[in-house]
Copies of this chain bind each other. A is one copy, B any other.
């Protein structure tokens, strides 16, 4: 994946390190933002800083690879959503949950702001991720299962809001669960009066829980 085929194949250890750097970069960008120190990324990847620079000449190259990878995963999620759900609304919700698991969605907008976007591969993948969702939204509108006034922007921005880690250094797993829980809430609304509301995913956090978690280090 994310292979821009041309070059000589990497040695096995080099390829492994490259993947680990990419994964570490994904996490670091989500948690620390697009300016995350490259040294921190190398540290998380368990490699030296030189190895990172050897593989990615500069921050832009690293960002580009991360974004490309994220788009690829997103496209895969879309395919899955379209395959597994027949009705458009269900597929849209399935997609949103799936994208939360890609995690990086939160920072794609900022990452894109950091690199030149006149890039064919990037644009192609971006289109491949956007247009099926626009189609899905239109179909759900037509079927009347999605609020008529909900736009593509709303969907995208809510995904961003939900996939950003909450400030205050919760454990990562909790953060992920809460994202799904809160997506459920968004889908079904807060009201208790309307009929069939399926159970929420994820843990219910009370004020007492929050207090207990207080002795936490800064974000």
Q: Interface residues, chain A, CB within 8 Å of chain B?
A: 33-34, 89, 93, 106-107, 109-110, 112-114, 117, 130, 134, 140-141, 144-154, 156-158, 160-162, 164, 166-169, 178, 181-182, 185-194, 197, 199-200, 204-207, 209-210, 214, 216-219
In Å, the complex CA distance between A187 and B166 comes to 20
- Identical chains in the assembly: 2
Assuming the contacts A167-B106, A185-B158, A191-B189, asked whether A210 and B153 have C-beta atoms less than 8 A apart, the reply is: yes
In Å, the complex CA distance between A197 and B152 comes to 19
Flag if A206 contacts B153 (CB, 8 Å): yes
4 tightest A-B CB contacts, nearest first: A189-B189, A153-B205, A109-B168, A110-B167
Flag if A187 contacts B187 (CB, 8 Å): no
Flag if A182 contacts B153 (CB, 8 Å): no
